[in-house]
Amino acid sequence: MSKEYETVIGLEVHVELATKTKIFCGCSTAFGAEPNAHTCPVCTGMPGSLPVLNKQVVEYAMAVGIATNCNITQYCKFDRKNYFYPDNPQNYQISQLYLPICRDGYVEIKGENGTKKVGIHEIHMEEDAGKLIHSEWDDCSMVDYNRSGVPLIEIVSEPDMRSADEVIAYLDKLRLIIQYLGASDCKLNEGSMRADVNLSVREVGAKEFGTRTEMKNLNSFKAIARAIENERERQIDLIESGEAVVQETRRWDDNKEYSYAMRSKEDAQDYRYFPEPDLVPIVISDEWIDEVKSRQPELRDEKMARYEADYKIPAYDADIITSSKKMADIFEQTVELGANPKKVSNYLMGETMRLLKENDMDADEISFSPKNLAALIKLIDAGTINSSVAKEVFEKIFSDDIEPEKYVEENGLKMDNDEDGLRKIIEEVVAANPQSVEDYRNGKEKAIGFLVGQTMKATKGKANPGIINKILKELL
Amino acid sequence: MGILDFTAVELAEKIKSKEVSVREAVDAVLEQIDKTEENYNCYVTVDREGAIKKAEEVQKKIDAGEIDGPLAGVPVAIKDNMCTEGLLTTCSSKILGNFIPTFSSEAVLNLEKAGAVIIGKTNMDEFAMGSTTETSAYGVTRNPRNPEHVPGGSSGGSAAAVAANECFYALGSDTGGSIRQPAGYCGVVGMKPTYSTVSRYGLIAYGSSLDQIGPLSKDVRDCATILEVIASHDPKDSTSVKRDDTDFTSALVEDVKGMKIGIPKDYLGEGLDPEVRDAVLKAAEVLKDKGAIIEEFDLGLVEYAIPAYYTIAAAEASSNLERFDGIKYGYRTEEFTDLHNMYKKTRSEGFGPEVKRRIMLGSFVLSSGYYDAYYLKALRVKALIKKAFDDAFAKYDVILGPVAPTTAPKLGESLSDPIKMYLGDIYTISLNLAGLPGICLPCGEDSNGLPIGLQLIGDCFKEKNIIRAAFTYEQSVK
């Protein structure tokens, strides 16, 4: 490759909002119900039904817009996007084209050369479609409208990103902002956050953008990074071999690490957008914006600063803990129950992160309750259990959210502080390991560790390590 | 004088005083249907069993004093584009030939709460697209005043059913004149209220920004009474408005002294049948004699209303009718090769030619590259028309004119020339574009004995002005 190329990337991010009910009817948005259990005439497109806008959707969209420095469109409207597909019961989707609720914002990300702004072109509100289930067995397709009418916002960025790293940083930033606002849980793997990548390449220094493609079906950060690398290479290869990049929509297959063309610009559908006549324009007053602003919760940057100042934990800790709203919530709630902030932080950064990694889980999937972590720290502080038991108990808390006091009691894990009893066991250990005793006496300090370990083993880990050390030193 | 000669309000009084039972009223209507329905075809569905059952329920409630309204126990006919729970609702289209709604439209629920007994669902132009009730998939409806002629449309079945005494009153819907024009052709009273007054929930949409439900009745008192019952603020319809002035019967006053009535010169010009013109001007004279101040004025923009209307209505219709695809309910083609083939065949077989024409027209004006030139331009014309009416209503309380350029045409004359048929809407469609209320009532007959309709137009939310003028006229010529 003789020339140097620059990758130009813009993102369209769909986020499912965390409202209790759908955008245009009162049906539940809860996940996992029987097919078509959460439906009504409105979200199944029955003749004569009419949409009524859920105010919470507007407020969430405004909140995201405010947090991403957008201008709020104070006279905004919905439009119909017309296309025929069975997952779309009316054969039009109610969306926003002409007057989207937010425009001209940005977020700051950490780029290769320090902080960088990524522009947000617009944020608009729309309804999700239903889900088609294809039954090979019966040679038919079925449709589940539970998701039909679940509210979405689509966040359209400017083509301001230049690498997969920047894309991930941008998505992470959006995810955290939205999670902190409580507007969505933003889970890529469950589809509550979905990103389409618009990508083009051009020679470094070129002023014009190259022809772009749009990549769909990206279900994880890793898939996004792989798809970006792959598409960049594909486009450069085309250009190098004198072929043209075709403007088209492509679908990523993450198993095969390969994308294929879904439809070209020529086949692009004409959606015949026009203003939705069944909904009145949304008029957003200054007062309403102020009200939403005043309810805006603390976002990550503010939270980090507060953790350092109020809880006196290091910036490094604050950064990791606030990298997930879930973890930050657990941290604050545990501290509120009286636990020492640094000790809580250590548990989150150490054991919690280890277990997440081992179980291939996301921090958002943490399911233990702060009161159990607080109780565990209390047991350790009180000397009721030793650190190795604590580790075991925490694993149980992490997996099953058990109550530590009860668990310790039921499994007889209380620290053994009975000096006389321990002395007997240690005497046996010493007698059984003459070599280690010899080594220790010859100045090998480490040898005592082995003897402590043997004692622990003999006491099933319950012994108080302080007492073991004390007795061992006496005996030796 | 038989039961069928009563107006709806008179019948309710007779029922209340126990001179007539609800069942007797229903039986009288069903007997009349047996006698004349074969000639007129007013109904798509006559719900005999349902009506008889309902009659007994309602009678009990009236006897128990639970229902005490001015329409309690009175049989009504509903246009077949309003959903009725458990009762076939076809929009006079093959594509909804088997569609039984799971809920009733809000206007119907309001009537039922007031003790109405639904006799059946009336024929209409398919999906309310047409001005003659000849585009129905279930046969044409004939004008009871002369069966060689059309009843008008699209609420032709409702107007004909009232004129033929096959019900005591009916609901229609009006997107471009579909209540007022058939009322005029059949010699009954019909009214389109201000847009947003009657909930559209459960009305199968044609042109959502123009559609409005309204009454067809034997006289102005019935009309005001029905409107008072069906008007309501409905949170299920975002375009529904909360009004505290829906006591329309309070305007049944025989007094127009000092009322300023304007007649647009534009409504008296070329294309207007001289007999219609004379009858309308004579009606104006009657009101003048009663103390109204009558003036002719230039409204303007009248020639732009038809193209603007057919652009906007067709655009909305092309989208509103997308849901009829053979997937979830209604007609599905017998054989197909794949999904898109199923869509195409279902819709080709399920829709009639007029509906297809408007879907194509609407799809075209919304398509990329034409949206600005057609749809947006039509919206600007709509705004200008509204402005022209605002200016007129700064000077006048009521605008008076004909409802249609001619009396009812003969069957088969209109569909051969759709443009001519569209031009017949010239005096009615501006009201839908501007959201205004309008009432049509009979003002004489032409030399063939066909009724002539007088249209009175009010400013938005000023139904009472036109009810008062209409009532005064009606009382004066009784």
Alpha-carbon distance A143 to nearest alpha carbon in chain B (angstroms): 10
Residue B13, C-beta contacts closer than 8 angstroms, at least 6 positions apart: none
d(Cα A7, Cα A236) in Å, to the nearest integer?
Answer: 10
- CB contact, 8 Å: B327 with chain A? yes
Question: What are the tens digits of pLDDT across the range A219-268?
Answer: 889 999 999 999 999 999 999 999 999 999 999 999 999 999 987 776 77
Beta strands in B247-369 (DSSP E): 260-264, 293-297
Alpha-carbon distance A46 to nearest alpha carbon in chain B (angstroms): 8
pLDDT of residue A266: 67
d(Cα B272, Cα B263) in Å, to the nearest integer?
Answer: 14
Q: Is residue B230, in this structure, part of any structural domain at all?
A: yes
Residue whose tokens read 């250590």: A346
* CA distances (Å), origin A256, targets A198, B228, B415: 20, 67, 59
- CB contact, 8 Å: A40 with chain B? no
* CA distances (Å), origin A103, targets A64, A97, A121, A400: 11, 12, 6, 45
Residue whose tokens read 């955008």: A23
pLDDT at residue A189 is higher than 90:
no
- CB contact, 8 Å: A41 with chain B? yes
Alpha-carbon distance A375 to nearest alpha carbon in chain B (angstroms): 50
- CA nearest to A82 within chain B: B319
Residue whose tokens read 């009615």: B428
Q: How many residues comprise chain A?
A: 476
Q: Using 50, 70 and 90 to split pLDDT, how confident is the model at A426?
A: confident
pLDDT at residue B122 is higher than 90:
yes
Query: Of B79, B87, B323, which to mutate for an interface test with A (greatest number of A Cβ within 10 Å)?
Result: B323
Q: Which residues of B touch A84 (CB under 8 A)?
A: 322, 325, 340, 343
The mean pLDDT of chain A is 91
d(Cα A192, Cα A9) in Å, to the nearest integer?
Answer: 22
Closest CA to A404 of A359, A458, A465, A339: A339
Closest CA to B465 of B442, B441, B439, B435: B439
Question: What are the tens digits of pLDDT across the range A65-93?
Answer: 999 999 999 999 999 999 999 999 999 99
Residue A407 is inside which H or E element, if any? Answer: helix A404-410
Question: What are the tens digits of pLDDT across the range B394-404?
Answer: 999 999 999 99
pLDDT of residue A136: 79
d(Cα B306, Cα B320) in Å, to the nearest integer?
Answer: 20
d(Cα A126, Cα B383) in Å, to the nearest integer?
Answer: 28
Nearest by CB to residue B367, choosing from A50, A89, A270, is A270
- CA nearest to A54 within chain B: B238
- CA nearest to A282 within chain B: B238
Q: Is residue B308, in this structure, part of any structural domain at all?
A: no
Whether residue B475 contacts residue B206, with contact meaning beta carbons closer than 8 Å, is answered with no
The mean pLDDT of chain B is 97
- CB contact, 8 Å: B101 with chain A? yes
pLDDT at residue A1 is higher than 60:
no
Q: Is residue B19, in this structure, part of any structural domain at all?
A: yes
> 3-state SS string over A46-110?
CCCCCCCCCHHHHHHHHHHHHHCCCEECCEECCEEEECCCCCCCCCEEEECCCCCCEEEEEEEEE
Query: Of A50, A57, A80, which to mutate for an interface test with B (greatest number of B Cβ within 10 Å)?
Result: A50
- CB contact, 8 Å: B426 with chain A? no
Query: Which positions 218-277 of B are in contact with A (Cβ < 8 Å)?
Result: 235-239
- CB contact, 8 Å: A270 with chain B? yes
* CA distances (Å), origin B462, targets A183, A280, A293, B393, B468: 44, 22, 41, 10, 10
Report CB contact under 8 Å: B238, A41.
no
d(Cα B368, Cα A139) in Å, to the nearest integer?
Answer: 37
- CB contact, 8 Å: A50 with chain B? yes
Alpha-carbon distance A89 to nearest alpha carbon in chain B (angstroms): 6
Nearest by CB to residue B323, choosing from A89, A277, A278, is A89
Residue whose tokens read 């078509």: A36
> 3-state SS string over A274-328?
EECCCCCCEECCHHHHHHHHHCCCCCHHHHHHHHHHHHCCCHHHHHHHCCCHHHH
The DSSP string of A188-229 is TTTTSEEEEEEEEEEETT-SS----EEEE---SHHHHHHHHH
Closest CA to B153 of B237, B85, B92: B92
- Tell me the percentage of chain A whose pLDDT exceeds 70: 99
As beta bridge partners, residue A435 has none
* CA distances (Å), origin B249, targets B187, B194, B196, B224, B467: 22, 16, 19, 5, 8
Nearest by CB to residue A274, choosing from B91, B235, B375, is B375
- CB contact, 8 Å: A51 with chain B? yes
| A319-333, A422-436, B361-375: the lowest-pLDDT one | A422-436
Q: Using 50, 70 and 90 to split pLDDT, how confident is the model at A370?
A: very high
Q: Is residue B139, in this structure, part of any structural domain at all?
A: yes
Q: Which residues of B touch A273 (CB under 8 A)?
A: 366, 371
Alpha-carbon distance A199 to nearest alpha carbon in chain B (angstroms): 25
List phi, psi (to 5°) of A269: -75, 150
Question: What are the tens digits of pLDDT across the range B288-313?
Answer: 999 999 999 999 898 899 999 999 99
pLDDT of residue A264: 75
Q: Which residues of B touch A139 (CB under 8 A)?
A: none
Q: Is residue B462, in this structure, part of any structural domain at all?
A: no
The domain segmentation of chain A, as residue ranges, is: 5-288, 298-410, 419-475
Q: Which residues of A touch B208 (CB under 8 A)?
A: 277-278
Residue whose tokens read 């309690």: B72
Please give the single-letter amino acid code of residue B59: Q
Report CB contact under 8 Å: B328, A274.
no
d(Cα B199, Cα B106) in Å, to the nearest integer?
Answer: 6
d(Cα B105, Cα B103) in Å, to the nearest integer?
Answer: 7
Angle subtended by helix axes B22-40 and B48-63, to nearest 10? 150
Nearest by CB to residue B237, choosing from A47, A50, A90, is A50
Whether residue B427 contacts residue B420, with contact meaning beta carbons closer than 8 Å, is answered with no
Per DSSP bridges, beta strands A213-216 and A248-253 are parallel
Burial of B417 (C-beta count, 10 Å sphere; 0-12/13-18/19+): exposed
Q: 3-class SS at A40?
A: coil
As a whole number of angstroms, the longest Cα–Cα distance in chain B is: 70
Alpha-carbon distance B244 to nearest alpha carbon in chain A (angstroms): 20
Please give the single-letter amino acid code of residue B136: S
Nearest by CB to residue B366, choosing from A53, A274, A279, is A274
d(Cα B162, Cα A62) in Å, to the nearest integer?
Answer: 52
Burial of A258 (C-beta count, 10 Å sphere; 0-12/13-18/19+): middle
pLDDT at residue A111 is higher than 90:
no
Q: Is residue B56, in this structure, part of any structural domain at all?
A: yes
Q: Radius of gyration over alpha carbons of chain B, in Å?
A: 21
pLDDT at residue B98 is higher than 70:
yes
Q: Which residues of B touch A88 (CB under 8 A)?
A: none
- CB contact, 8 Å: B322 with chain A? yes
As beta bridge partners, residue B440 has B190, B455
Nearest by CB to residue B368, choosing from A41, A50, A270, is A270
As beta bridge partners, residue B171 has B78, B215
Alpha-carbon distance B266 to nearest alpha carbon in chain A (angstroms): 30
The pTM score is 0.89
Nearest by CB to residue B238, choosing from A46, A91, A279, is A279
Alpha-carbon distance B237 to nearest alpha carbon in chain A (angstroms): 6
* CA distances (Å), origin A414, targets A208, A464, B47: 70, 9, 79
List phi, psi (to 5°) of A93: -105, 135
Report CB contact under 8 Å: A48, B83.
yes
pLDDT of residue A4: 92
pLDDT at residue B186 is higher than 60:
yes
pLDDT at residue A366 is higher than 80:
yes
Alpha-carbon distance B94 to nearest alpha carbon in chain A (angstroms): 15
pLDDT of residue A2: 64
- CB contact, 8 Å: B202 with chain A? yes
Closest CA to A93 of A56, A47, A125: A125
**Number of A:B CB contacts under 8 A?**
97
Whether residue A250 contacts residue A44, with contact meaning beta carbons closer than 8 Å, is answered with no
Burial of A382 (C-beta count, 10 Å sphere; 0-12/13-18/19+): exposed
Q: Is B462 a catalytic residue?
A: no
Catalytic residue among B136, B154, B155, B318: B154
- Indicate the number of domains in chain B: 1
List phi, psi (to 5°) of B251: -90, 5
Nearest by CB to residue B103, choosing from A41, A82, A274, is A41
Closest CA to B129 of B154, B160, B158, B157: B154
pLDDT at residue B269 is higher than 90:
no
* CA distances (Å), origin A458, targets A94, A432, A439: 69, 12, 21
- CATH number assigned to the domain comprising residue B151: 3.90.1300.10
Q: Which residues of A touch B239 (CB under 8 A)?
A: 277-280
pLDDT of residue A362: 83
Whether residue B296 contacts residue B280, with contact meaning beta carbons closer than 8 Å, is answered with no
Q: Is B154 a catalytic residue?
A: yes
Domain A419-475 has CATH 1.10.10.410: yes
d(Cα A13, Cα A8) in Å, to the nearest integer?
Answer: 16
Q: Is residue B75, in this structure, part of any structural domain at all?
A: yes
- CA nearest to A142 within chain B: B327
- CB contact, 8 Å: B96 with chain A? yes
Query: Which positions 87-116 of A are in contact with B (Cβ < 8 Å)?
Result: 89-92
Closest CA to B175 of B323, B310, B272: B310
pLDDT at residue A475 is higher than 80:
no
d(Cα A223, Cα A126) in Å, to the nearest integer?
Answer: 25
Query: Which positions 352-411 of B are in contact with A (Cβ < 8 Å)?
Result: 363, 366-368, 371, 375
Whether residue A216 contacts residue A262, with contact meaning beta carbons closer than 8 Å, is answered with yes
- CB contact, 8 Å: A277 with chain B? yes
Q: Which domain holds residue B116?
A: 3-251
Whether residue B191 contacts residue B440, with contact meaning beta carbons closer than 8 Å, is answered with yes
Q: Is B178 a catalytic residue?
A: yes
pLDDT of residue A381: 87
What mean pLDDT do residues A117-146 have?
Answer: 92
Closest CA to A373 of A348, A350, A407: A348
pLDDT of residue A279: 98
- CB contact, 8 Å: A272 with chain B? yes
Q: What's the DSSP call for residue B408? A: P
- CA nearest to B322 within chain A: A91
Closest CA to A125 of A88, A80, A78: A78
The DSSP string of B228-240 is HHH----TTSTT-
